[in-house]
Amino acid sequence: MDADPVFKALADPVRRALLDSLRERGGQTLGELCLGHAMSRQAVTKHLNILEAANLVVSERRGRKRLHHLNPVPIQEIADRWIGQFQRAPLRALADLKQALENSDE
C-alpha cells in the first residue's frame, strides 16, 4: 500500500466530512453527498475522485446514479502501521520533551 495518497486525501476538511457522511450512511449518491456543502457538484466530484484514488471510497454505477461507499481499510492500515509507531513510544518522546523544556532554563 502507498500511504501517501491516503494522507493527502485526509488533508482536506471537505473530504474528511465526506468520509464522515459515508460512515454514517453508505450508498449515498453524488447529489446526496453534495447537500450541506456550499460548492458545486463538480467540486464534490473532484473530492470523491481523490478519495477513490486513495481507495478510501468505492463507488458503483446504478442506472443513472452512482452510489458511494466508505472503505475503512486504508485508515486502519495507517493507524496500525504508522500511527502505531508513534503510540508505542509516546512516553519516551514526552519525557524527552519535558526534560528539554526544563533544561532550557539553565
Partner DNA sequence: TGAATAGGCAACCATATAGTTGCATATAAG
Partner DNA sequence: CTTATATGCAACTATATGGTTGCCTATTCA
Binding site for a copy of itself (CB under 8 A): 4, 7-8, 10-11, 13, 16, 19-20, 23, 26-27, 58, 60, 62, 67, 69-73, 75-76, 78-79, 82-83, 85-87, 89-90, 93-94, 96-97, 100-101, 104
Restricting to residues 55-74, which ones interact with DNA according to CB under 7 A?
A: 61, 63-66
Among 29, 55, 71, 75, binds DNA (CB under 7 A): 29
Residue whose entry in the numeric block shows the C-alpha cell 458503483 = 60
CB 36 within 8 A of CB 25: no
CB 22 within 8 A of CB 69: yes
29 interface partner picked from a copy of itself, DNA, none, CB below 5 to 8 A per type? DNA
The answer to whether residue 52 forms part of the interface with DNA (CB under 7 A) is: no
CB 66 within 8 A of CB 60: yes
Q: How many CA atoms lie within 13 A of 79 on its CB side?
A: 5
Among 18, 50, 51, 70, binds DNA (CB under 7 A): 50
The three-class DSSP label of residue 38 is coil
The answer to whether residue 51 forms part of the interface with DNA (CB under 7 A) is: no
Nearest Cα residue to 23 out of 38, 13, 33: 33
Residue 48 identity (one-letter amino acid): L
Please report, as ranges, the residues that interact with DNA according to CB under 7 A: 8, 11-12, 14, 29-31, 38-43, 45-47, 50, 61, 63-66
